[in-house]
Amino acid sequence: MNRPHTLTRRAFLALAAGLSGAAALRPLRAQDWSEEAPIAASIRADLEAFIGRRSMALDFRCIDSAYAERFRIQINADNLMPVASCFKAFAVLYYYLNTPAADWNDGPGTPLYRMAVYSDNRATGVVLADTAERVPGPENAIVKFNDFLRGTMGLTNGLHTWNHPGSPTVGLSDPRFAPSAVNGRVVLVRGSAYQVDNVFTASDLARGHDFILRGEHFTRSETFRQAARATSALLSIPATDIDYVSPIERVYPLGYTGKDGVLPTDMIATGRVINDAGVVRAGGSRFIIAFMSAGEGDINALNALAEVVRQIEVYTAWAAANGGA
């Protein structure tokens, strides 16, 4: 079996030192596997056969009951893709870490709830703008959020703008993440390059959910622990009252903790965007799924996610037969 990915407390030194709020955490180092276990290699081959040549990206990780990473399968995981609404999961943690617990306002109808559960775009701007007021410095709300993504969560990418009508962030931008063919910030779909405002990678999304999932376990900070738990709880609420089911929920109806992002063809030149990223539980392990696609349509995207779920079943059956190794 692969060596477990050991997440040390060193990654949380700032919090362990007793700093409160969103004190800067040291980014976690990606595991550099020297070899891949046969079961993981088999899963990778099956997923690559379906996903590899399509306009899709996947970062798929297994975290065992001891919070060790048992495998990490990445396919096109560093390709820039339209993020749609998936980043909103991290805006939830951003809010909780920068807002005193006594002031948390996360019940039904609040901007935070509407952002996380219903993907309300105006509410998202409200959350970003209001939280930014609690973060020191003269930078605008988009830049401050991106600094959190990069400096605290260790992600590579960030938002360029959030200009949805009625949002208090209209007109704000972060030039570091402007789309440009010159610096390679384009989305490639079947050989054509598209300049898209907000692009992330599947590895960004997986790392973010890994940070929330395992950060809660390794930190000594009760502030961070409470924020991570509150984030997971809010991201686990299904939007059943509006009869909406996310792509992962459509193929894995047992529930998940995460945030999807879907854009119709008439809203983006790449063609329909279908993304979903989060954590599901099976066989005593947690599986992080970060899936992104552009121009592939519902059938191909759902079939790809269904194949990921099938591989979860393959792995859990193998683990049960091998003593949970």
Lowest mean pLDDT across 2-6, 77-81, 183-187: 2-6
Q: Is the pLDDT of residue 246 over 50?
A: yes
pLDDT tier at 253 (50, 70, 90 boundaries)? very high
Q: Is the pLDDT of residue 232 over 60?
A: yes
Measured CA to CA, the distance from residue 242 to residue 240 in angstroms comes to 5
**What DSSP assignment string belongs to 268-311?**
-TT--EEEEEEEEEETTEEEEEEEEEBSSHHHHHHHHHHHHHHH
The per-residue pLDDT for 21 is 34
Q: How many CB atoms lie within 10 A of CB 211?
A: 22
Greatest CA separation found in the chain?
Answer: 56
Q: Are 112 and 92 in contact (CB under 8 A)?
A: yes
- Locate tokens 């970003």: which residue? 128
Q: What is the mean pLDDT of residues 178-206?
A: 96
Please give the CATH topology (third level) of the domain spanning 36-59+79-289+306-319. Beta-lactamase (3.40.710)
Q: Is 99 helix (H, G, I), strand (E, B) or coil?
A: coil
- Does the pTM surpass 0.85? The reply is yes
**Domain locations in the chain?**
36-59+79-289+306-319
Can you state the angle between helices 88-98 and 121-132, rounded to 10 degrees? 30
Measured CA to CA, the distance from residue 157 to residue 253 in angstroms comes to 30
Query: For 164-180, what is each residue's pLDDT tens digit?
Result: 999 999 999 999 999 99
Q: Are 234 and 58 in contact (CB under 8 A)?
A: no
Burial class (CB in 10 A: 0-12, 13-18, 19+), 7: buried
Measured CA to CA, the distance from residue 15 to residue 9 in angstroms comes to 9
Query: For 134-159, what is each residue's pLDDT tens digit?
Result: 999 999 999 999 999 999 999 999 99
Mean pLDDT of the chain, nearest integer? 90
Q: How many CB atoms lie within 10 A of CB 322?
A: 10
The per-residue pLDDT for 324 is 72
Query: For 15-71, what is each residue's pLDDT tens digit?
Result: 333 333 333 333 333 344 457 899 999 999 999 999 988 999 999 999 999 999 999
Query: For 68-90, what is each residue's pLDDT tens digit?
Result: 999 999 999 999 999 999 999 99
| Strand extents, DSSP E, the chain | 56-63, 69-75, 81-82, 187-189, 192-194, 199-200, 257-263, 273-282, 285-293
Q: Is the pLDDT of residue 210 over 80?
A: yes
Percent residues over pLDDT 90 in the chain = 84
Query: For 269-287, what is each residue's pLDDT tens digit?
Result: 999 999 999 999 999 999 9
Q: Is the pLDDT of residue 113 over 70?
A: yes
